[in-house]
Chains A and B, each alone.
Chain A
Amino acid sequence: MYSRYARRYARLVTMPTTAPAPGLADVTASDSTLRRFLHGLPGVDAVGLEARAASLGTRSIKTTAKAYALDLAISMVDLTTLEGADTPGKVRALGAKAVHPDPTDRATPATAAVCVYPDMVAVAKEAVAGSDVKVASVATAFPAGRASLAVKLADVREAVAAGADEVDMVIDRGAFLAGNYMKVYDEIVAVKEACGTSARLKVIFETGELSTYDNIRRASWLGMLAGADFIKTSTGKVAVNATPANTLLMLEAVRDFRAQTGVQVGVKPAGGIRTAKDAIKFLVLVNETAGEDWLDNHWFRFGASSLLNDLLMQRQKLATGRYSGPDYVTVD
């Protein structure tokens, strides 16, 4: 029987039928081939991109869909503390919260990971021991990335040695903006190698500094060609961090990359996502752009800290029918 309400089309087509483009390996053969490839990517019309992101933002996610989305979002949070003032106590509290985000409801999913500086990795590992929560470490002279490659690699090795499951590196935006794509590429490859087989690599573009959408598309492909497991918008340390539009653009990139190469890459918007409402909008972007293969914390993350509490309050509201308040979630 027909239900009166909107229904979704069956997903007849999830991937373009285009065969994987032969010879993507050749793309990185030299500086000039890489440049030619990146500059040959389709342009991005900013107004159209932003309009599409805004339009998806009007989706109304209610009741069962909201419950699903809230739990999914919680499970995708990389619960983050990246302060000069971080201490073992702070990181331990964060780890506890990641494992049991809502002490009043043990059915609440754990977050995907905690994200800390390299020197806190060991503490974090201990704090989440026995759970599925991963430990992610920023590295490569985060957030500016203005250090020699040797320093960056040492940073990465230290984090991995301390047990990091994931490494969040920053690209050299200076080199990128100077058109020195091969330098950026080589660094990512080197960091990937330093991660070994044990740590997944997230590549942060600092989209606010790349500034244009064309640059963000090029950086996305550059990162994926170099072996990124995730592409990530930003450090959270600049004025413009994750936005619906730049995340939509990166979702298009991972979708197209898989269609061409068969390799799936994750996406992580970070910084600026503070409310459950916003997070759900990002999940709509994932659902309707990359598709449901990415609706899993193996392939999509939120880099956030305060977001988690809003997700928890909304979750409580959904369960009890009452609006919750900040005193009913933990402040760690």
Chain B
Amino acid sequence: MSDARLSVFKTYKLYVGGKFPRSESGRVYEVSDSKGKWLANAPLSSRKDARDAVVAARKAFGGWSGATAYNRGQILYRIAEMLEGRRDQYVQEVADAEGLSKSKAGVQVDAAIDRWVWYAGWTDKIAQVVGGGNPVAGPFFNLSSPEPTGVVAVLAPQESSFLGLVSVVAPVIATGNTAVVIASEKSPLPALSLGEVLATSDLPGGVVNILSGRTAEIAAPLAAHQDVNAIDLAGADEALAKELEIAAADNLKRVLRPQPVDEWSATPGTERMTAFLETKTVWHPTGSLGASGSSY
């Protein structure tokens, strides 16, 4: 038809250090919907992209982990607000990616938005739940508090392209970690689009870095990287998970093994947060106020 408007395609790009670069490899791969129809080309990330993402995540760690828990909560909530406003876009992307009806995709996106809200509320509570004073048998004040592990590599779930992704990323950053995320290999587009929301939610650049491509290729250098502190293997199959866990032992990364997840929409517990928390215990002497006084 002559009045049909030619649509504008979106160039999907990585999200690294708060910027949207193409893969330094210059390569892309074709992403199709569940029926095999071409949707877009996604960047095929290389080892160097992974390295750059780790650098960005490390650089962001000091500021993000040092931000007040209240501030992190505000920002996570802001992410939910931004997503809510672009709900239709994500419903479409999730429907395409996962072959869902609009209404089912809508349920997924709503759950993902609510998940950000859930973790926004956790930022300033987790320390009270998992930390606390310890009644040591001596004149000492003794306090244990959780601290973020550092830079966490996250292999997002392969099947649940958006709710699964949010469910593994949000708990990592809620507590002050920074993340290098590998999007679902076959359905990376919702993840890549998430970068656009993160970039406009006051989330400091580098806190979340999103890579697309071949999961095994990108994960291998991350698992072996000496400046990555932990790895979430949610998106790895059994063979890959074992291989990555072995590589992760080189600097004793904290490893969250893939766990069977029936339904990402189930209420999460605290495990995905505590998996990437360290406990720091600080001691200080108390002692008496002083010797007692006069008694003439």
Contacts and interface: CB of A to CB of B under 8 A. Distances in A.
Interface string B254-296: 0000000000000000000000000000000111111111111
A129 interface: no
- Count class of interface residues, chain A: 20 to 34
A47 B291 contact: no
Nearest to A173: B294
A243 to B, nearest CB: 7
A47 B287 contact: yes
A246 B291 CA distance: 10
Given A143-B296, A237-B296, A207 B287 contact: no
A208 B296 contact: no
A240 interface: yes
B132 interface: no
Contacts of B286: 47
B140 interface: yes
A213 B288 CA distance: 11
B285 A238 contact: no
A167 to B, nearest CB: 21
A211 interface: yes
A144 interface: yes
A144 B296 CA distance: 8
B292 A208 contact: yes
B88 to A, nearest CB: 63
Given A47-B139, A47-B140, A209 B285 contact: no
Interface residues of B, number: 14
B292 A239 contact: yes
A184 to B, nearest CB: 17
Contacts of B288: 46
Contacts of B285: 45-48
Nearest to A239: B295
B294 A238 contact: yes
Nearest to B288: A46
B296 A243 contact: no
Contacts of A211: 289-293
A50 interface: yes
A212 interface: yes
Contact of A243 (B140, B289, B291, B293): B291
Contacts of B139: 47
Nearest to A243: B291
Contact of A208 (B140, B287, B289, B293): B293
A243 B295 CA distance: 17
Contact of B293 (A45, A47, A237, A238): A238
B136 to A, nearest CB: 12
Interface in A195-247: 206-213, 237-240, 243, 246
Nearest to A48: B285
A239 B290 CA distance: 13
B295 to A, nearest CB: 4
Contacts of A143: 296
Contacts of A48: 285
A173 to B, nearest CB: 8
Given A47-B139, A47-B140, A209 B287 contact: no
A238 B296 CA distance: 6
B105 to A, nearest CB: 62
Interface string B102-140: 000000000000000000000000000000000000011
A240 B292 contact: yes
B49 to A, nearest CB: 52
Given A45-B285, A48-B285, A50-B287, A209 B294 contact: yes
Contacts of A212: 289-291
Contacts of B292: 208, 211, 239-240
Nearest to B295: A239
Interface string B25-37: 0000000000000
A237 B289 CA distance: 21
A206 B289 CA distance: 17
Contacts of B291: 207-208, 210-212, 240, 243, 246
Contacts of B295: 238-239
Nearest to A213: B290
Contacts of A240: 291-293
Contacts of A238: 293-296
A27 B93 CA distance: 78
A305 B84 CA distance: 85
A213 B139 CA distance: 16
A44 to B, nearest CB: 10
B283 to A, nearest CB: 10
Nearest to B290: A211
A213 B293 CA distance: 13
Contacts of A46: 285, 287-288, 290
B210 to A, nearest CB: 50
Given A207-B291, A237-B296, 13 more contacts: A45-B285, A47-B140, A143-B296, A144-B296, A209-B294, A211-B289, A211-B290, A211-B292, A212-B291, A238-B293, A238-B296, A240-B292, A246-B291
13 contacts: A45-B285, A46-B285, A47-B286, A47-B287, A208-B291, A208-B292, A209-B293, A211-B292, A212-B289, A212-B290, A238-B293, A238-B294, A239-B293
Interface of B: 139-140, 285-296
Nearest 5 pairs of A and B residues by beta carbon: A47-B285, A211-B290, A46-B287, A47-B287, A240-B291
